[in-house]
Structure 1
């Protein structure tokens, strides 16, 4: 049985879990945020206020685990208290905002990507700090602070450039731009991987995949026909798009996650030491979605308690939010789609995950 979470005209754009894994937050095409219990799908509350598309959401620093921030095409970054679902702060700009990230050596910086600019604030007091205007020539689609080098900030844009900044001290591009990498096509998503997160994966808007060492700016892998290679690595329909990449630190392993227009997605391993090396699919998520999957949030392998055995969560253009359980936990036999719990028969094939 499927119970639609949203009206047919709305769909999911972005999802993330809180640091203590007690709350699943999703942004919707209705410009609202909604919150659910990760294990059960129970609806918890919602936040409204944006007048344009919410491009990215992120829980704030560990010192404020109850705060989530959202950036939007309406030119604002809004902070919300997930206990009361009320807006608690507002940063307003004159530009569309595509991405945001928390970091800095003191954990006080909030970065955002806008129309050819990288913007920086002290998020503790909402003080504007800098506007980096010379490094990019088009929309900045991604900003991310490095996990193990908190002062380092990565930005990526439609102009095909990935820039590395040092955010310590008074910010200016003359002294703080460390390096530039040229992907040579519009950048959609980037993320860190490697045992010290010294490497960067990059997905482009034309579905190419590349990997980089961002410390020295060298490109290690460039796969221009990534969708075709992934399609050859499973026996299902053609891989039509990539949703994201996922890196497991305990396994030191990177996957690219591809999907079909019918809603099936697969995890394909990337062997970065070999040119064009997309391995055979290692996990298939099928039966939950009937349209394009827009966002995926893989569960951490350390999840315990009520979240034990969860493989991850997905949201799609079909208006469905799905929770997937790992077949490796035999006693776990409940998954959920949207707001309804459904039973699932355990399968012996550990490479397939279904919400039924």
Structure 2
């Protein structure tokens, strides 16, 4: 569908969020690229444009240590191996995937794909959880992460950079790849892996793909954000398109009174049913959580404003955190951006908080105030 209709839902009230504190990750003009949590939430890892990864406490914001070793841009970080929860992995345009021991911040392993290669994404999985897959220049590479031996290279399915690889939750032998060429491919990774026998399906999105993710109670649904800021929803098992929002920024912009939505940071699955949040931002640093279903993009259920002064690159929700220290209750999440800041957001109405949230009165525009045309995607 074209995505021009409005959602037929009750208009939600925007939740209130206070800015607990803001951390300047470094002096200068360093970017925050990504924020990821350790399984027990004792640390969050933050990748920076300085080619380093820093670790902080998600509760207090206290700096814990730094991992340095990459010689080019870090494209993804993740605590990926459940059997070794202290290991942090990172991939880079320097062609390596490195593992770091977050207890002493030292590198413990390095897989090198070659000097002419770049690694844009990686994922751990496989039927025996022994595979490390990586997206590179028009290739999908596989290693046995236990011994570092390369076991496969798929080079016929994509013709441009592979920006995303993800093993499917609850289907660990299935791998999804997504590329600048506009294609998403599903591979079966059981046994010997090759292009001819193991490519199960291809979805043509039609434009360069930036981020993808799985959601829904059985993880059968797939969201896809493109580099021209469009959003599409798919059923990956039968390659069926369920929604296609080519003008997603205009639809989101029309549902609040703040400046127009300039970009999308991510999508977040809160873990219930088929609900999905599309997280959009302004160049001035405000963020909105926009609910999405097959009918359209709704008014934001949460707005974060007053923390950032530039483009936000990463959002880490803590609302789904189970257990953890009592002092973490009320923390909505962390955000990081091109202003070099890490911002922690509170979801309660405690006194003494910098009131950086936007009131619900500013969320919904009147029909007369809506604009039908926005600037073209950049």
TM-score past 0.5 threshold: yes
**Match for 1:289 among 303, 308, 318?**
308
Secondary structure (helix, strand or coil) at the match of 1:227 reads helix
CA distance in 2, matches of 1:212, 1:186: 16
**Match for 1:310 among 331, 337, 342?**
331
1:9 deviates by: 2.0
Which deviates more from structure 2 when the two are superposed, residues 244-253 or residues 311-320?
244-253
Gaps of 5+ in 2: 1-20, 363-378
Aligned residues: 338
Residue of structure 2 in register with 1:223 after alignment: 245
1:305 deviates by: 3.3
Say which structure, 1 or 2, has more relative contact order (CA 8 Å, 6+ apart).
2
CA distance in 1, matches of 2:342, 2:250: 28
Residue of structure 2 in register with 1:97 after alignment: 119
Deviations 1:180-201 (A, max 9, x none): 0000000000000111000100
| Equivalences for residues 1-356 of structure 1 within 5 A | 4-94=24-114, 95-250=117-272, 252-272=274-294, 274=295, 277-306=296-325, 307-327=328-348, 343-344=353-354
CA distance in 2, matches of 1:345, 1:238: 22
Conservation of the 8 A alpha-carbon contact between 2:25 and 2:341: yes
Conservation of the 8 A alpha-carbon contact between 1:56 and 1:72: yes
1:177 deviates by: 0.7
Secondary structure (helix, strand or coil) at the match of 1:150 reads strand
Q: CA separation of 1:345/1:317 partners in 2, compared to 1, >3 Å: closer, same or farther?
A: closer
1:49 deviates by: 0.4
Residue of structure 1 in register with 2:11 after alignment: none
Conservation of the 8 A alpha-carbon contact between 2:40 and 2:324: no
Conservation of the 8 A alpha-carbon contact between 1:199 and 1:212: yes
Gaps of 5+ in 1: 335-342
1:350 deviates by: 8.2
Deviations 1:71-122 (A, max 9, x none): 0000011000000100000111120110011111111111110000001111
Secondary structure (helix, strand or coil) at the match of 1:151 reads strand
Q: CA separation of 1:190/1:347 partners in 2, compared to 1, >3 Å: closer, same or farther?
A: closer
1:294 deviates by: 0.8
Secondary structure (helix, strand or coil) at the match of 2:251 reads helix
CA distance in 2, matches of 1:294, 1:177: 32
Deviations 1:201-258 (A, max 9, x none): 0000000100111101111111100000000011110000000000111354101100
Residue of structure 2 in register with 1:340 after alignment: none
Deviations 1:24-46 (A, max 9, x none): 00100000000000011000000
Q: CA separation of 1:234/1:347 partners in 2, compared to 1, >3 Å: closer, same or farther?
A: closer
CA distance in 2, matches of 1:300, 1:172: 40
Q: CA separation of 1:351/1:92 partners in 2, compared to 1, >3 Å: closer, same or farther?
A: farther
Residue of structure 2 in register with 1:337 after alignment: none
Secondary structure (helix, strand or coil) at the match of 2:39 reads coil
Secondary structure (helix, strand or coil) at the match of 1:228 reads helix
Conservation of the 8 A alpha-carbon contact between 1:303 and 1:309: no
1:175 deviates by: 1.3
CA distance in 1, matches of 2:201, 2:344: 39
TM-score, normalising length: structure 2: 0.86
Residue of structure 1 in register with 2:12 after alignment: none
| RMSD of aligned residue pairs (Cα, Å) | 1.9
1:172 deviates by: 0.9
Q: CA separation of 1:346/1:284 partners in 2, compared to 1, >3 Å: closer, same or farther?
A: closer
